[in-house]
Structure 1
Amino acid sequence: RWLDNDTNWYIENGTDHPQFGTPRLCGNATGARVCPTGFGCLPDVGDNPNYGFTNFDNFLWSMLTTFQLITLDYWEDVYNKVIATGGPLQVVFFAIVVFFGSFYLINLMLAVVAMSYEEEAENTEEEKTKDLMDHRDDSTFSFDPEKLTHARPLEKKKPKNRRVIVMRRGAGILTDKFSKRRKKKEEEKKEGKGRGSASSSSDTAREPSAPPTT
């Protein structure tokens, strides 16, 4: 047919051969791109743009193109082509998809994935702790310190016959410090007795003799 002959199409770069340019997209809607003088805009003529990948012909192709818009992967090319064929009213669709899809939905998905990884890491850590506790309970040397409610520290007993080394004139003598204390107390007692006997004898010597009685 005459319509299927791509040499009869209007090419963007001004050449008449479509291999050296891109066919100009147009539409009959209000605000859509119009054709130049001598050309007419006809629907369902030629293939879809970008080797047939950019289209909204069915649900699967629509999802693929919408995913391209959400990820902002060369989304302005799809925007320009849709505005040229459908008019400026299509801006509402792109505003919703780009702003809410790329800035909200993608971040929400990333947050859900991050929370899932965090919960999985916590569960893994709890399982490791539980396995370690089970292994400790199964061990022969396992005990729970929290159950020792009546535990008391051990009292350190002092030795009864504690001896020390005393250096006297270059010679080491092993003595008992308790016996030294006892000896010192005995010497103090002896000195106290000696002083008491001396004072009593002086008192008796100073006492005057009684006059003779008649």
Structure 2
Amino acid sequence: MKKAASLVLALSIGFGAFAGSAAAATELETAVDRLVGVDYKYGGTTTKGFDCSGFTGYVFEKLGIDLPRRSADQATVGAKVGKDELRPGDLVFFNTDGKGISHVGIYMGDGNFAHSSSSRGVSIGKMNDSYYSKRYVTARRVLDETQYVALATEAAPAAPVVAEAPPAPAPAPAPEAAAVTEDVALSTEAAELAAEHAGENVAVEDVVEALRQLM
């Protein structure tokens, strides 16, 4: 019964943490969401059970990135970043046994981190939780800029395709313009007729009658 309640709590926290991006989850969020609720197992590196570094190593392996096995060794990879510079995909480290780095999680944004704890298994915790905030040690950035954009950010929406407007049809000539055009054509035809018969012995009356018919 206690285990079932813990699972429900872990799932509710996990879904609440990423509810705002459920429609467009990043690859990192998808990889973590699939594991929320998996039991804690000391030395575990599979979905049958994870310890903290087994969980982070499994997630990053799914993203194509190899991490050392132990949390203390994972704290030596990548670049150190300040707590106020954290972004999704950064590893966050804690001293939970008083002997140095002994716990690791994955920062997910908005003050949340995913980890496998001995009490809750894979779950989403808060960086400002009184327990973890007192035991925070450092953070490391293992995703370069290209990996960060591809794995831990939402893809930018594609620009809408705007159909090119068809060319506007040429305006119809005004009636006056059409009449002028017709008159010019008739006058041209009359001139051509006169030129055609120039030099021929044609009666003036015939030429006048031909012009009258054209006009």
Q: Same fold (TM over 0.5)?
A: no
**Normalising by structure 1, what TM-score?**
0.23
Q: Which has the larger strand fraction?
A: 2
Greater C-alpha radius of gyration: 1
Q: Judging by fraction of residues, say which structure has more helix.
A: 1
Query: Structure 2-normalised TM-score?
Result: 0.23
